[in-house]
Amino acid sequence: MAEFLSPLLNLFPEGLRALVLILIQIMLVVMPLVIAVAYTTYFERKIIGYMQVRIGPNRVGPLGLLQPFADVFKLMFKEIIIPTAANKFIFFTAPVLILFAALVAWAVVPFDDGWVIADVNAGLLYVLAVGAAGVYGVILAGWASNSKYALLGGLRSAAHKIAYELAMGFALVGVLMASQSLNLQDIVRAQSGSILHWYWLPLLPMFVVYFISGVAETNRAPFDIAEGESEIVAGFHVEYSGMGFVLFMLAEYASMILISALTAIMFLGGWLSPFQGTFLESAFAWIPGIFWMFAKIAVLLFVFIWFRATFPRYRYDQIMRLGWKVLIPVTLIWIVVEGVAIYFKLGPWFA
């Protein structure tokens, strides 16, 4: 990418070139991400519409394709209401914090071989740490609003995120053991071979646990107790209007896409072609890796939306039970199984 941009970079003085290159790379990730968020909201409404035998948005533009922009403009021009007794500073910091956590993890996500902003050795740990820091936005929004529904939403979110972070961490330990690396690019490279070499097969329980925890981490249905509109109105963001609300929505969808991207990287072979190792490999060799990456992200996003259309919301104690008593023991057992498999060099995955 640096060679491609070199005529542009030469316009800048020597000392600034690295900084400009990084800024361009950040823009190349964030701008498509924001567009993707806008169209994820559109597809969510369309898909749920068809699943419920409705049509979904179809009035703004052809097939309703301009609907996300209409929504954004509507929200931008809405009045921003600040509750009288709210803590103003934290009330406005909270949505920024949550968006920060949703965007900053993209720094280590590889889209193709070598297409990554920061090729970090401890990428897997970094992703976990950033995800953990993302809880603050929700908790602080709940507290700063000074509303009982918001506070209850924040507290629920604090409790369930800690439980699911543990399960997520243990699932990633499994990936770490199989790939012998914390670097996300090395993890993808370790899965090359064929579709059966991808970690969804040897680490199937980890894959399921990771994706379920990912749904819980992003506060999506059926784990959206932090919002829980049937019990606590809209939970942690009940007092937010206009741009504050936009930031929460942006962060929620950005972290949904992030979880899908990470699941694709760690369990579905990232940018690797699904036809690798079969007779179709040469026929599909012209397709760039980033296409497969996007296709996998899109499939997982569809599953996210499918969950929302299918499952009723979990009750709070059921969420806790699932996290602590089902998901965490499953990962612990599979870590032991994997350890045995690695010791005996069980092929083709652990050879």
Partner 1 sequence: MSFIKLLFLVFASSAVLSAFMMITTRNTVYAALYLVLTFFSTALVWMLLEAEFLSIVLILVYIGAVMVLFLFVVMMLDVNTAATREGFVRFLPLGAGVAILMILEMSLVLGPKLFGLDLYPAPVPKPADHSNTEAIGSVLYTVYVYPFEIAAVILLVAMIAAIMLTLRRRPETKYQDASAQAKVQSKDRVRIIKMSAEPRITDVAK
Instruction: Please select the residue that binds partner 1; options are 26, 65, 72, 132, rule is CB under 8 A.
Output: 132
Report in angstroms how near the CB of residue 142 gets to partner 1 at its nearest. Answer: 8
Q: What residues contact residue 69 under an 8 Å CB cut-off, 6+ apart?
A: 38, 60
Report in angstroms how near the CB of residue 48 gets to partner 1 at its nearest. Answer: 28
Nearest one of 172, 184, 346 to 269, comparing CA atoms: 184
Beta carbon nearer to partner 1, 136 or 170: 136
Determine contact, residues 226/188, Cβ cutoff 8 Å. Answer: no
Beta carbon nearer to partner 1, 95 or 142: 142
217 part of the interface to partner 1, by CB under 8 A? no
Beta carbon nearer to partner 1, 10 or 180: 180
Instruction: Please select the residue that binds partner 1; options are 51, 63, 128, 249, rule is CB under 8 A.
Output: 128
Report in angstroms how near the CB of residue 154 gets to partner 1 at its nearest. Answer: 7
159 part of the interface to partner 1, by CB under 8 A? yes
Task: Give the C-alpha distances (Å, rounded to integers) separating 155 from 29, 138, 140, 167, 233.
Answer: 33, 9, 10, 19, 15
For residue 340, give both structure tokens.
């045995």
155 part of the interface to partner 1, by CB under 8 A? yes
2-8 long-range Cβ contacts below 8 angstroms, 24+ apart: none
Beta carbon nearer to partner 1, 58 or 93: 93
Beta carbon nearer to partner 1, 165 or 239: 165
Q: Is the peptide bond before 312 cis (omega within 30 degrees of 0)?
A: no
99 part of the interface to partner 1, by CB under 8 A? no
Instruction: Please select the residue that binds partner 1; options are 16, 27, 162, 333, rule is CB under 8 A.
Output: 162
Determine contact, residues 172/126, Cβ cutoff 8 Å. Answer: no
* Residues between 174 and 193 with contacts to partner 1, criterion CB under 8 A: 182
CA angle (202 as vertex; 283, 115 as ends), nearest 5: 50
Instruction: Please select the residue that binds partner 1; options are 115, 143, 245, 334, rule is CB under 8 A.
Output: 143
318 part of the interface to partner 1, by CB under 8 A? yes
For residues 280-314, b (16+ Cβ closer than 10 Å) or e, as one string? eeeeeeeeebeebbbebbeebbeebbebbeeeebb
- Binding residues for partner 1, rule CB under 8 A, total 29
Nearest one of 305, 249, 229, 256 to 75, comparing CA atoms: 249
136 part of the interface to partner 1, by CB under 8 A? yes
Beta carbon nearer to partner 1, 198 or 236: 236
Phi-psi region of 219 (alpha: psi -120 to 50; beta: other; left: phi over 0): left
* Cα 300 from Cα 318, distance rounded (Å): 24
6 part of the interface to partner 1, by CB under 8 A? no
Beta carbon nearer to partner 1, 310 or 318: 318
For residue 161, give both structure tokens.
């995120």
335 part of the interface to partner 1, by CB under 8 A? no
User: Could you list the residues that contact partner 1 (CB under 8 A)?
Assistant: 90, 121-122, 125-126, 128-129, 131-133, 135-136, 139-140, 142-143, 151, 154-155, 158-159, 161-162, 165, 169, 182, 317-318, 321
